[in-house]
Structure 1
Amino acid sequence: MQNRHQTKAVTKAKQQSMLHLKYVLLGSAVCVAGAIWAGQALADAHIIETHGFNEYDALKYGPDFEHLDYVNPDAPVGGEISISANGSFDSMTPYATLEGTPGSLASIGYETIMAPTEDEIGSSYCVLCTTIEYPEDKAWLQINLRDDVTFSDGSPMTAADVAYTHELLLTQSTPSYAAGLQELVPSYEVIDDYTIRFDFNPERPLRARIGQMTGMPVFSKAWFEENEARLDEASLTAPMTTGEYVVGNVDPGRQIIYERNPDYWGADHPMNVGRGNYDRIRIEYFADSSAAFEAFKAGEFTFRRENSSLIWATSYDFPAIENGWVVQDTLDDNSPPFVTGFVFNLRDPKFQDRNLRRALGMMFNFTWTNNNLQYGLFQQRESFWENDRLKATGLPEGRELEMLETVRDLVPERIFTEPAALPHESGDSPVDRGNLRTALGLMEEAGYTPNADGLLADADGNVLTVEFLETRPSFDRIITPYIENLKRLGVDATYNRVDSAQYQSRTQTNDFEMLFGVYRSGLLEGTGLSQRYGCEDKDDVFNPAGFCSEAVDALSKFVENADNFDEMAAGVMAIDRIMRDEYFIVPTWYLGKFWVAYYDMYEYPENLPEFGLGYLDYWWYNEDKAAELRAAGALR
């Protein structure tokens, strides 16, 4: 096993030259001195050239940084980490979101022009570029590419590949993304082999202009044309990439192995030092989580992210644990948790009534579920941004209130007079009698009363039916009690667990009534808000509820045009307040921790970052420990 610094040398002088930050003043030859590398304006009418970008704050890492603070720059390189995946896959094209099921980690080889760090909010640094340039008004962006980036076959990556990628995204990505990109970038120019410029629509928000363009991957024009491949078609042939890992073995539905590219161009890039430390990443597929757990116990794969409180609390007593072969660990997770809960499909007319949605939500008993089925390990989710920086609390005030005043005629008065909506409280019994009475009252307001059979029916005698769609057997124990509570209310509720292929097909076409769904939220929000919660994209795959609010659309403009973090945060809080009041998701739980178990041959830096875990990234393999485990018969 050897350190990557011994395998490939890139001179310090070259790195410094390629990453040096400059301020170029228009109409002047003035040279700006000093260590100002936050990319902030110092004079009127100037162009900023920088190695990194943050929408609001100063960058943590200067132009000459050697490695990220949270990695071990001397981490050994080698060995294998193996993980599991459930279900199956039939594609290695990760961007064909509407066709096929991509294999796990199918996007691992795609590097982006700039990449984020996990110890800052909103910072990204050049990977495929040396620097970027843009004017103070962000009217355009010029990307200065590195001249040493190669695809896995050794062919150079050039501005022609970036331009080709842009065209692919315009024509073959999801309709909502393509439309937004077309509106954002009316024109672009390939200046030379390693320089490309994008011109922005002045009518589009300033926020996320640069981040969207520098956050895109780069595809090989030659490979796509030679193979007559499409970005939007499922295929088991993986496109060629620039990244450290390439696809090795693919056994459809059973196994995927990613292997280190021995000729990877970027091994000594400051963003990569101490990262990508495995020779192989192996994914083993199993029918369900139970089968996967049994395989982990037997040593068929070596690292497990646990997501079942039942298994975490009761099943980590197998021989490999008792022998000290497997480590069970809880690590901090300070990232905003996913917005999880029971999602109403608002495209269904019966779910248009907020009182009906609230009544159905009242029958989910978080307290009983957490204490009796989840061992008291979770916290109840309240916000779409469960984080002190962005979560709406109490009554609106300050800048948040000012923003809400602009949509006062679009929202109920309670938004201004009542504290931010919180989930209902439940008791220790499976059915909370008080919540049941409240729910019956809400159903009556929604026009449903019990018929002769005790089932809730509308004025025309139509019984209220609700189907819950799910694919994971592990959710049976969570959903079944909720179904029983709904039946007590008088709802003809059913639970339909389908295979993963049928689930994906139905969710992609919005053919469901309720499901346990997920929205993603971040610490920095911008144009992505519209894709997840906007009316224009209400049928997009990223908006499973089909949520649409004129008020949220209007407030999203404040977020998109914010020129500082506080302005953005005020807009997010206002949106959070409205969406919680709309109640289109029954809020459930979040953990705020990482549960991990692994065979004791992996190690990680002492200073893990605030917003990451990195077990496939900046952890590493200890060959001596692995040899001991093999000798003891711990691994297969």
Structure 2
Amino acid sequence: MLTVLRNSCLSLAFLICSANAWAAAQHAMTLYDEAPKYPSNFTHFDYTNPQAPKGGTLRLAGLNGFDSLNPFIPKGNAADRIALIYDTLTYHSADEPFTEYGLLAERIEKADDNSFVRFYLNPKARFHDGKPVTAEDVRFTFNTLVEKGHPLYRHYYADVAEVVVENHLQVRFDFKHNNNRELPLILGQLQILPKHWWAKRDFTKTSLEAPLGSGPYRLTRIDAGRSLRYERVDDWWAKDLPVSKGLYNFDVIHIDYYRDMAVALEAFKAGQFDFNLEYSAKDWATGYDSPALRNGKIIKKSVKNHNPVGMQGYTFNIRRPMFKDVRVRKAISLLFDFEWTNKQLFYGSYTRTHSFFENSDLAARGLPSAAELEILEPLRDSIPDEVFTQTFKLPVSDGSGIIRERRLEAWRLLKEAGYRIENDRMVNAQGEPLTFEFIIAQANLERVLLPFKRNLAELGIEMTIRRTDVSQYINRMRSRDFDMTSSIWPQSNSPGNEQRDFWHSSSVDNPGSRNFIGLSDPAIDSLVEGLINAPNREHLITYARALDRVLLWGHYVIPNYFIDSWRIAYWEHLARPAVAPLYDYGLMTWWRKPNIASPETEAK
């Protein structure tokens, strides 16, 4: 009787705990537990049109080919839009800074003390072969990515202690500590892989076999390096969920690859594909002129981008001996004339980047605040003095191309660093010339670099511009076999675990990480960890600004330029919702107008 009673009590306790856990489970997660924009009974996002017609083909362009359909490993050049075949545990709202709504996971439960997150899978979720998506698939995905995937995953999920399969549709992630508030949300972004499909395949190898997924599209045609065809899954299990309504309206998404952006632009104007996201200021200003633009068949729009733009810059690899001295890096930086470049090459369309978190409230401005000083003071002996005493400012020219004063300042810094002019060449104390190679994979970047190269040459510094093919460029970046290159570190409104992959010493020797600079600095590590573990938005901003100052005064990159909008061009047979999302241009919310023929149809 005692045993029966004890078992009954245990069962009752389990039911009570389960009921409490069930009650605590939510339809959405936010970073600091603020209320999400959309309630549990929402029907669709404001930026989608749930009545959008389904059908037709969206034709897109890719660049430089592909040789892999496995985007999760540090090998090969993965195919564009491959994420369309996968579902994630949660779906990221494009009109909120950082909110995740349930997708594969119909409910999410976060521990009050942030020590774990539990996902309750939707029993309707299916892979494309009809097999259910289970908690075991979630655990397999996480363990495979961390053990065999890109090094980014090991940094991104470093604070996960264990993945526990509680039952067929319930999985829990336990954390090493409870300070990492972003961790539950980024775990929700896991693209779930089918364990049964990968059981007989080598995850560490590139492959051109169409992978199995559970997402809105499947790959149906692959022409290696040249084209891809995705077809919408008619019986996609999630098509009627609120997070899916009004999305994925095209029956087919077809991607043709081009070797050169200039060739791709001509193909777009000729009607060979439907949508183009433009990166070149010159092409945006003059390249689209055509009969199709003049008669309204091609539409050009600038869509406001509310995201932080991060940092784009010419990157020093400080693993190289000549770039270890900050005076050398600063001297070389002085010789990049942004104002002339913007005026002569970019039609004045860009703004100079002054922050690693540009276009956001995370960017450092002026001198450090009292809150920042509390963080920075303990690091005073190991970070640049200028962090405390000066506002970081980039030099500004009059745009004439004459930068004599900056050249003199660069010469002064190089002399301090032990350099001298010998036979019209800048040499160090050992007589070794200051020369370096700048590697690129994009042909259109060369015209931007040539004026910079001339400014360097006038001071006896030789920069060789080396253009490589994409596969060679990727391999050299992964092996850190470069002196200098152009890099981009994107940022979000809620930066977090990815900062380890960018700046932390734990990523410096990992091939494939984005620690291109070669940073291994305990002070920067401390700031990165503080940012990741920030308990609220106010602390996050403070740590981001403090980190920003230290990175800027290290002169690890030559900041480039940005534009706070997306430049998009598309043919008139495409339609967009009346409301655009704040943090995306929302291509997957678009649809094809049924009563307007595309150029391809007209040609036929």
Same fold per TM (> 0.5)?
yes
Q: Give the deviation of 1:557 after TM superposition.
A: 2.5
Q: 2:387 aligns with which of 409, 415, 420?
A: 415
The CA deviation at 1:170 is 2.6
What is the Cα deviation at residue 602 of structure 1?
1.0
Offset of residue 613 of structure 1? 0.3
RMSD between aligned alpha carbons? 2.1
The residue type paired with residue 52 of structure 2 is: A
Code of the residue aligned with 1:515 in structure 2: it is T
1:217 to 166, 191, 194: 191
Structure 2, unaligned stretches of length 5 or more? Answer: 1-12
Give the conservation status (yes or no) of the 8 Å contact 1:159–1:195: yes
> Aligned equivalents of 2:72 and 2:156: distance in 1?
17
| Separation (CA, whole Å) in 1 of partners of 2:156 and 2:498 | 10
> Which moved further from structure 2: 408-417 or 337-346?
408-417
Cα distance change, pair 449–272 in 1 and its aligned pair in 2 (3 A):
same
Give the aligned residue type for 2:452.
Answer: Y
3-state secondary structure, aligned to 2:82: coil
Q: CA deviation at 1:273?
A: 0.4
Determine which of 148, 170, 174 is the counterpart of 1:195. Answer: 170
Equivalent of 2:54, from 52, 77, 81?
77
Secondary structure, counterpart of 1:186 in structure 2: strand
Conserved in 2, the CA contact under 8 Å of 1:93 and 1:238? Answer: no
Shift of 1:331: 1.4
The answer as to 2:154 corresponding to 1:178 is yes
Letter in 1 for 2:94: E
User: In structure 2, what is the Cα distance between the partners aligned to 1:468 and 1:519?
Assistant: 18
Q: Deviations over 1:87-116 (max 9, x none)?
A: 1211111112x2111111122222210121
Deviation sequence 1:337-373 (CA, Å, 0-9, x none):
1411100111111111111001111111100000100
Task: For 2:584 and 2:18, locate their aligned partners in 1 and report how far apart those are by CA, in whole Å.
Answer: 41
Moved over 3 A (4+): 25-32, 45-48
What is the 5 A alignment of 1:513-524? Answer: 513-524=483-494
Distance apart, 1:188 and its partner CA: 2.7
Is residue 537 of structure 2 the alignment partner of residue 561 of structure 1? Answer: no
The one of 444, 451, 463 equivalent to 1:474 is 444
1:625 match: secondary structure? coil
| Residue deviations 1:466-491 (CA, integer Å, cap 9, x gap) | 11101111112101111111111210
Amino acid corresponding to residue 296 of structure 1 in structure 2: F
Query: What is the Cα deviation at residue 191 of structure 1?
Result: 1.6
Distance in 2 (CA, whole Å) between partners of 1:110 and 1:103 is: 14
- Residues 47 and 136 in structure 1, CA contact (< 8 A), matched pair in contact too: no
**What's the secondary structure of 1:597's corresponding residue?**
strand
Q: Which residue of 2 aligns with 1:50?
A: 26
- Cα gap change, 1:29 to 1:597, in 2 (>3 Å): closer
Which stretches in structure 1 are left out of the alignment for 5+ residues?
Answer: 1-24, 33-44
**Other structure's SS at 1:167 match:** helix
Q: C-alpha separation between the residues in 2 aligned to 1:274 and 1:297? A: 28
> Partner of 1:142: helix, strand, or coil?
strand
Structure 2 match to 1:595: 567
* Corresponding residue number in structure 2 for 1:424: 395
From the superposition, tell whether residues 134 and 333 of structure 1 become closer, same or farther in structure 2 (CA, over 3 Å). Answer: closer
Q: Deviations over 1:178-222 (max 9, x none)?
A: 3664x52333321211011222113x6322221232221110011
CA distance in 2 between counterparts of 1:372 and 1:309 reads 11
Amino acid at match of 2:80: S
Corresponding residue for residue 255 of structure 1: 227
Deviates more, 1:550-559 or 1:587-596: 550-559
When the two structures are aligned, how many residues end up with a matched partner? 589
The residue identity in structure 2 corresponding to 1:510 is R
- In the alignment, the residues of structure 2 paired with residue 255 and residue 500 of structure 1 have an alpha-carbon distance, to the nearest angstrom, of 17
What SS class does the counterpart of residue 415 from structure 2 fall into? helix
Alignment partner, residue 610 of structure 1:
582
CA contact 2:114–2:181 (8 Å) conserved in 1: no
Superposed displacement of residue 556, structure 1 = 2.0
Distance in 2, matches of 1:378 and 1:263, equals 45
Matching residue within 93, 101, 107 for 2:70: 93
Identity of aligned residues (%): 31
Instruction: Evaluate the alpha carbon distance shift between residue 432 and residue 296 of structure 1 in structure 2; reply closer, same or farther with a 3 A threshold.
Output: same
1:492-511 matches, within 5 Å, as 492-511=462-481
Report the Cα offset of residue 548 of structure 1: 2.9
Residues 133-152 of structure 1: matches in 2 within 5 Å? 133-152=109-128
The Cα of 1:626 is off from its aligned counterpart by 2.3
Q: CA deviation at 1:31?
A: 9.8
Shift of 1:242: 0.8
Aligned counterparts of 2:152 and 2:304: Cα–Cα separation in 1:
35
Could you tell me how far apart the structure 2 residues matched to 1:30 and 1:549 are? 46
Q: Could you say what secondary structure the match of 2:507 adopts?
A: coil
Aligned residues of 1:340 and 1:587 also touching (Cα < 8 A)? yes
**Cα distance in 2 between the residues matched to 1:176 and 1:447:** 38
Matched, 1:547 2:519: yes
Looking at structure 1, the residues matched to 432 and 24 of structure 2 have their Cα atoms a distance apart, in angstroms, of: 64
Residue 59 (str. 1) matches residue 36 (str. 2): yes
**CA shift digits 1:112-169 (9 cap, x unpaired):** 1012111111111110011112321122222111000011112111111111112212
Structure 1 CA distance, aligned partners of 2:63 and 2:118? 42
Equivalent in 406, 411, 429 of residue 440 of structure 1:
411
Alignment of 1:346-365 (within 5 A): 346-365=318-337
Change (3 A) 1:231 1:29: closer
CA distance in 1, matches of 2:237, 2:461: 60
The amino acid of 1:258's aligned partner reads: Y
Aligned to 1:68: 45
Q: Deviations over 1:409-437 (max 9, x none)?
A: 22132211112x12221231224111111
Please name the residue that 1:489 is paired with.
Answer: 459
In structure 2, the residue corresponding to 1:607 is in which secondary structure?
A: coil
The alpha-carbon deviation at position 238 of structure 1 amounts to 2.6
CA distance in 2, matches of 1:231, 1:363: 46
Q: Are the aligned partners of 1:93 and 1:102 in contact in 2 as well (CA < 8 Å)?
A: yes
